[in-house]
Structure 1
Amino acid sequence: KAVLLTSSLEKEGKTTVSSQLAASLARTGRRVILVDVDLRRPSSHRMFDRPLNPGLAEYLRKKVSLDEVITTTRVENLWIIPAGTPHPDAIIALAQGDMEEPMRLLREQFDFIIVDSGPVLTDADVLVMGRLCDGVILSVLRDVSRIPLVYEACERIRMVDIPLIGTVLNGVSFGKYRPYYSSYSIEVSTKGKAKAKRR
């Protein structure tokens, strides 16, 4: 499975969410790779103390092979492809769909591909990458993300028929909202629709 993490604008927690999701899946014994396709603002490599390059930008510019940019991390069963050094040619290649073949190859090697992308409202290549994934998760940061822009981001994703798995709210103290969450459960149908059910 391939899941893309994005946000409406930058600095809304998507890299944190994608890194934590990748590490959590790896700890269950699955083979997981985190791919940083935010070629304008690379940051996933810092979450795991890995070098920036060689990375995806170098691969897209045909400077290195795919195997050369796959890097191990300290988390067992977790690998990462860092973004590499920002370069306009790499961004163009990403927008033109040059990740289709490498994504196919990665699906053969890993159980999960977690893609840390740029913000959907500013980077056109996000939707291109989204079409190569099985679904999208939108990161929302408390007191930072603006609700109208979050709605707009969701609509852009839906307009191109990319499955929106859901949103993740960051920066919220669970204890503060415990009474609310204990009053509701989420019932998910096999068709992917969800409804709140009071307990």
Structure 2
Amino acid sequence: MNIIETENKAPLKTVSSSIGHLLLDMGKITEKDAERILKFQKEKSMRFGEAALALGFVSIEDINQALSYQFDYPYITPDKASFNTGLIAAFDPFSKQVESLRSLRTQLILRWFERGFKTIAVSSAREADGASLLASNLAVVFSQLGERTLLIDANLRDPSQHKLFKLNNHHGLSDILVGRASTDVVVRIPSLLNLSILTAGATPPNPQELLNKDALDDLLNSFAEHYDVIIIDTSPLLQSSDAQIVAKKVGGVLISTLQNITTLKDTQEAYEACRSLGIDVQVALNAG
């Protein structure tokens, strides 16, 4: 058992600063604002961002966010987004909690993805063990690394990724598997550049049968041609066989555990249930 602690605008051609381009693309300033900033910048011999701050067009948070895009490390501010604040990797990327997530990301790269795999399932023993939040935050930190990342909600019994990212869930994975939708229902997250989400879709009466379909294998193989990392959120291991079905298809599972909540007995039982099927298992210890 491996334990891991754990709408676009065309920018002005006259805006030479990449910060200026980013602020325009982010909708923080208008083209008219940019013209005034450029004039003030030239008069005062200062950087574009400093001029924009001095004129009151943007805040220091706006500048920091633009810098994060400039250095390929996007994040968002809680007051400017509709995401659930549990997505700490998106809102507070320099916190100790997210540093632990980055360490987990590194361990997964070394122990799983560098072995040639692109897809991993994320599950837990029980519902309260934090698998969905772990999956979503891991997807964010992989996207921040510059990896084309797809997060799939395969918890067809009690999906939550659409709630965390505040997305429409009218069509998703279940609809693709029965031929009622295409991969066009995958949603790109503009504020997180390299992150895309496939929600669970309509709740089916037969989740195990759907996940057992060859259509899921075909879908994952197709996604692997377009994404570097695919993270699949699944239902709890000890509450149904859904997670084992998905994990068996992709070869590996990351089991989320929460300090003072997840019992050793449950963790061991979930681990053994997967290993008996030949599934590679990683375990993430989360402070909660």
- TM-score category of the 2 structures, normalised to the smaller one: 0.7 to 0.9
Quote the offset at 1:68 in angstroms: 2.1
The CA distance in 1 between the partners of 2:132 and 2:242, in whole Å, is 17
Cα distance, 1:97 vs structure 2: 4.6
1:70 to 161, 168, 186: 186
- Cα deviation for residue 170 of structure 1 reads 2.2
1:12 to 129, 149, 172: 129
Give, as a single letter, the amino acid of the residue that structure 1 aligns with 2:200.
A
Q: Secondary structure at the match of 1:11?
A: helix
* CA-to-aligned-CA distance 1:46-96 (integer Å, 9 cap, x gap): 22221112111111221111x222111131100000001211145421134
> 1:61·1:89 contact (CA, 8 Å) conserved in 2?
no
Post-superposition offset of 1:34: 0.1
Structure 1: runs of 5 or more not aligned: 173-199
Tell me the alpha carbon deviations over residues 133-157 of structure 1, each in whole angstroms, 9 at most, x when there is no partner. Answer: 2421100012221211110000011
1:63–1:91 Cα change, 3 Å: farther
Higher relative contact order (CA 8 A, sep 6+): 1
Aligned to 1:190: none
Structure-1-length-normalised TM-score: 0.80
What SS is found at the alignment partner of 1:34?
A: strand
Q: 1:143 aligns with which of 239, 254, 260?
A: 260
The answer to whether 1:167 aligns with 2:283 is yes
Considering only aligned residues, what root-mean-square deviation do their CA atoms show, in Å?
A: 1.4
Name which one, 1 or 2, has greater alpha-carbon Rg: 2
Q: Does 1:24 align with 2:141?
A: yes
- 2:165 is aligned to 48
SS at match of 1:88: coil
Q: Is the 8 A contact 2:121 2:252 kept in 1?
A: yes
The number of residue pairs the alignment matches comes to: 170
1:192 counterpart residue number? none
SS of 1:17 mapped into structure 2: helix
2:270 aligns with 153
Instruction: Measure, in 1, the Cα distance between the counterparts of 2:236 and 2:213.
Output: 17
The structure with the largest strand share of the pair is 1
- Aligned positions of 1:106-121 closer than 5 A: 106-121=223-238
Instruction: Provide the residue aligned with 2:75 in structure 1.
Output: none
The separation in 2 between residues aligned to 1:125 and 1:40, in whole angstroms, is: 9
1:88 paired residue among 191, 195, 205: 205
Structure 1 partner of 2:62: none
What is the CA deviation profile of residues 89-137 of structure 1, one whole-angstrom value per residue up to 9, with x for unaligned ones?
4542113453110000010110000000011112212111112224211
Q: Which runs of 4+ in 1 moved over 4 A?
A: none
Going from structure 1 to structure 2, the CA distance change for 1:145 and 1:51 (only over 3 Å counts) comes to same
**How has the CA–CA distance of structure 1 residues 90 and 127 changed in structure 2, closer, same or farther, with 3 Å as cutoff?**
closer
The answer to whether the Cα contact below 8 Å between 1:140 and 1:167 also exists between their aligned partners in 2 is yes
TM-score, length-normalised on structure 2? 0.56
* Long gaps (5+) in structure 2: 1-117
TM superposition shift of 1:38: 0.1
Residue 109 of structure 1: SS of its match in structure 2?
coil
CA distance in 2, matches of 1:112, 1:134: 14
